[in-house]
Amino acid sequence: MDTMRVRFWGTRGSIPAALTAHMLRDKLVHALVSAAGHNLDTPEKAGAFADTLPFPISHTFGGNSPCVELLADGAPRVLLDMGSGGRPAGLEALRQLAGKPGEFHIFMSHLHWDHIMGFPFFTPAYIPGHSIRIYGCHAELEHAFRRQQAPPSFPVDFSKLGARIEFVQLEPGRHYEIAGYRVMAKLQAHGGDSYGYRFERGGKTVIYSTDSEHKLDDIAQTDGFIDFFHAADLVIFDAMYSLADAISVKEDWGHSSNVVGVELCQLAQARHLVLFHHEPAYDDATIERVWRETQRLEEITRGEHPVQVTAAYDGLEIAL
């Protein structure tokens, strides 16, 4: 049985959010204060000390908008959404391909700009010999990609791209065999509609469910997602808002919460919940706090089936 891996290239929602100079300075100040009294006179000692610091001080959750990669031995590259994280994903693919032609399968949750904005910077699209198939359930799929590269929005028209690019419209609720995966799309509540995906391969299941607003008082909708998530090894879940925001000031904004993610995964007996599509206004410390609170919530509400909880960050890789 081959090993599936999931690599996160972009984990922010709505718009990319860079680490600012002020934020970086705060991290350095915290690290320097923590280092008082330590003898850190070599890179090795300093590195070992840095490894003891809390994640939001020694690292960052990153700032790219959504792009996730599925990797499996012998399978073509599969990318989920093409936000600004698509740029580093494409560069790394070219590095690994080392001049050989690549085959890319891109699944789109929806066509809002934060999910397509990376494609004009996806370098494999410019190189003859590469094959790119873009899948989605929206009738406007091809139009959205072409429009964002049309004048005056971008200097290189879509027609100038060198790779062989195809668009494939999928039907939600139907199973497909694509790139070595069994794939099914599901309609989600979001402005203009979005679609979650269930990927199955070698006895492992990954759910990609971003830009979806879950209202647990809708029993039929909830039951549908419990079935969709059922026994998944990994659920990548839109946890952009707090529950309080999701049911009050930001109700009907098309996003969900960490609390709902835990409840759905518990009901579906999923194994691992990944908090995703982070609010761009949140700094690293805030995302860390939400993550730890979510872990505590899972612990105190846990039944017979524990759910591991992780906060996605740009560069995270999970093996299944």
**219 neighbors 203 (Cβ within 8 angstroms):** no
So what's the pLDDT on residue 62?
Answer: 93
Nearest to 243 by CA among 255, 253, 258, 221: 258
Least confident of 55-69, 147-161, 210-224, 232-246: 232-246
Give yes or no: residues 102 and 210 share one domain. yes
CA dist 172 and 136 (Å) reads 9
Residue 245 has pLDDT above 60, yes or no: no
Give yes or no: residues 157 and 37 share one domain. no
pLDDT in tens, 250-270: 444 445 678 889 999 999 999
Give yes or no: residues 83 and 40 share one domain. no
pLDDT in tens, 184-241: 999 997 788 899 999 999 999 999 999 888 776 777 888 888 999 999 999 999 987 6
Give yes or no: residues 39 and 93 share one domain. no
Give yes or no: residues 175 and 279 share one domain. yes
So what's the pLDDT on residue 25?
Answer: 94
CA dist 97 and 76 (Å) reads 11
Give yes or no: residues 52 and 93 share one domain. no
Q: What's the whole-number mean pLDDT along residues 279-298?
A: 92
- pLDDT higher for 244 or 21? 21
Could you give the percent of the chain with pLDDT greater than 70?
A: 94
Q: What's the whole-number mean pLDDT along residues 30-40?
A: 91
Q: What's the whole-number mean pLDDT along residues 44-54?
A: 92
CB atoms within 10 A of CB 268: 20
So what's the pLDDT on residue 250?
Answer: 42
Give yes or no: residues 298 and 236 share one domain. yes
Give yes or no: residues 92 and 156 share one domain. yes
Give yes or no: residues 92 and 218 share one domain. yes
**DSSP state letters, the chain:** -PPEEEEEEE-B-SS--PPPHHHHHHHHHHHHHHTTT----SHHHHHHHHTTS-HHHH-----PPPEEEEEETT--EEEE--STTHHHHHHHHHHHHTTS--EEEEE-S---HHHHTTGGG-GGGGSTT-EEEEEES-TTHHHHHHHHTSTTT-SS-GGG--SEEEEEE--TT-EEEETTEEEEEEEE-STT-EEEEEEEETTEEEEEE-S----TT-HHHHHHHHHHHTT-SEEEEE--B-HHHHTTTTTTSS--BHHHHHHHHHHHT-SEEEEESB-TT--HHHHHHHHHHHHHHHHHH--SS--EEEE--TT-EEE-
Give yes or no: residues 27 and 117 share one domain. no
- pLDDT higher for 84 or 289? 84
Q: What are phi and psi of 207, to 5 degrees?
A: -105, 130
Give the burial class of 126: count Cβ atoms within 10 A of its Cβ; 0-12 exposed, 13-18 middle, 19 or more buried.
Answer: middle
Give yes or no: residues 44 and 76 share one domain. no
What domain range includes position 34? 22-56
Please state, rounded to an integer, the average pLDDT across all residues of the chain.
91
Per-residue buried b or exposed e for 3-30, using 16+ beta carbons within 10 Å of the residue's own CB = ebebbbbbbbbbebbeeeeeeeebbeeb
* Number of domains making up the chain: 2
So what's the pLDDT on residue 242?
Answer: 57
Q: What's the whole-number mean pLDDT along residues 14-30?
A: 92
Confidence of residue 138 (pLDDT cuts 50, 70, 90): very high
So what's the pLDDT on residue 252?
Answer: 47
Q: CATH number for the domain including 99?
A: 3.60.15.10
Give yes or no: residues 52 and 183 share one domain. no
So what's the pLDDT on residue 95?
Answer: 97
pLDDT in tens, 103-127: 999 999 999 999 999 999 999 999 9
Residue 182 has pLDDT above 60, yes or no: yes
So what's the pLDDT on residue 249?
Answer: 41
Q: Which two tokens stand for residue 188?
A: 């989600």
**314 neighbors 276 (Cβ within 8 angstroms):** no
